[in-house]
Amino acid sequence: MAKRPVLAAASGLLLALSLAACQDGGLAGGGGSTRHLQPIPQKTVALMSTKGMSPGDPILIRAYKKESEMEVWKRGSDGRYALLKTFPICRWSGQLGPKVREGDRQAPEGFYAITPGLMNPNSSYYLSFDTGFPNAFDRANGRTGRYLMVHGTCSSAGCFAMTDEAIAEIYAIAREAFSGGQRAFQFQSYPFRMTAQNIAKYRNDPNMPFWKNLKEGSDYFEALHDEPKVGVCGTRYVFGGSDAAAGSCSPRVDPLVAEKRSKDEHEVAELIGKGTPAVRVVYQDGGQHPFFRETAPSTQLFAEQQTRRPDLGIVSRPEAIAAGPEEVPVDAKGRPILVADAKAPEAKPADGKSSDPRSARKGAAAKPTALAYATPAVTPAPIPTKEAAQSLAPQPAAPVTVASAEDDPAAYRKLLGNLFGNSAPPTAPAALPPPAEPETVASAPKKVAAHPHPAKAADPRKAADGHKPAEKDAHKPAASDKAPDAAAKRATLPSAPRVAGVAN
């Protein structure tokens, strides 16, 4: 009898794990695997030496979704961080933008502290470390989720998936940094590189207020090559030095950081002034570095790594990778500017007259691409004010089973069906009635010509372009009652020209 509560608790734990994003069956500690003990490759140790670094020096990691790259930085003997190595990301899922709630397949964006307790040497995904999502910022904004990791195995449901070889090397570099005395390393996750070009290009994306907040931390690191201290005030990140670490909500801005921000803002304004279009980039389900897709991949960027494409095994949603991202022009409110908004001009022959009486119906708008109506699982709201944040309560995790989403492509079509507020794809135009029979139309002019009253110019049904006067003629009940037989038959002719006029 005493075993039943234990079995019930175990069943509950398994159910909770099955609802997680990148559910990892392995738990830290124990186990017989020695994968986590692999040494840093000798080529990488030699690279450290040439850059004035040692294996025990502190590290910092930066990830970029759009570029699908992960950078490992190391602090040198001069106390400044320098780029050690860039790894291609094999798979990330979702769209550009932060993770909002559990089950949305979004990889997190933000600043996270990775402690030794978040490293998993017995991961089901070869090796892994947990990003620590949700952090204090995520909780302040009511965001939910768990088990958002960087791991091996090229398959992702909200994580950053590397190859087994890459995660083994990253894990070894982090392990040696911890052995050298680093208590936690910073993991910075961005939607893209925080350049002026990208800020100008994606300026109308609803996530831009959040991304500009992330750029403040990026500017600090890039200007000083030092790890920014990170705080949270209300629902915003705060970056700086010791005063930010002490909890200041208005930390001092270093002159070099201020200079970089000013320069970037000026460049953004210039790019917009020169006509840089505003776009949003839409993915079927995340991305992958081109290194894994090219027949003969370039190895210049990853010269210290393997020179051939690895055997990736199972890759999550390969059809989404094959489709690639699509950039959609948007207006100032982030809504898509579709080509369907403008009608195609009607083609006319050399004499300037339409050769088809139904040509007005053929001047239809160009059909928009299906991806223009796609949506990320969640469109995050702008960052609220501090007062509004005090009333926020964490949202309950959505009961989404990742496995079912992986196996059912229709689930993604449901998730990706409302990016820009359209609850359903555009409906097809109503079916038009068939055109008039040629024999009937040909006989009509003969009977009109025999009519005693010369009304050829006033008869709207003779117009071949289908203008609306025919519609007025259809609403004259008194005249049709007293008309001779020929007029009565003419009144019953098919109304194709009138319908064509309505469809105009």
**Active centre residues (catalytic):** 151, 159
All residues at 6 or more sequence positions from 148 whose CB lies less than 8 Å from its CB, including other chains: 21, 22, 99, 107, 108, 130, 131, 133, 158, 159
Distance CA 319, CA 348 (A): 42
Q: Cα-atom radius of gyration of the chain, to the nearest Å?
A: 32
- Whether the Cβ atoms of residue 340 and residue 326 lie closer than 8 Å to each other: no
Q: Which residues pair with 160 in a beta bridge?
A: 92, 150
Q: Is the dihedral of CA 48, 53, 55, 59 positive or negative?
A: negative
Structure tokens at 436: 């008039």
Half-sphere exposure of residue 319: CA atoms within 13 angstroms, side-chain side:
7
The alpha carbon of 498 is separated from its chain's Cα centroid by a whole number of angstroms, namely 45
Q: How far apart are CA 16 and CA 383, in angstroms?
A: 29
Q: And the tokens for 493?
A: 């002719």
Cβ-based neighbours of 367, under 8 Å, separated by 6 or more: 340
Cβ-contact 85, 73 below 8 angstroms = no
What burial class does residue 175 get, using C-beta atoms within 10 Å of its C-beta: 0-12 exposed, 13-18 middle, 19+ buried?
Answer: buried
Cβ-based neighbour number of residue 446 at 10 Å: 9
Look up residue 464 and give its two tokens.
């071949």
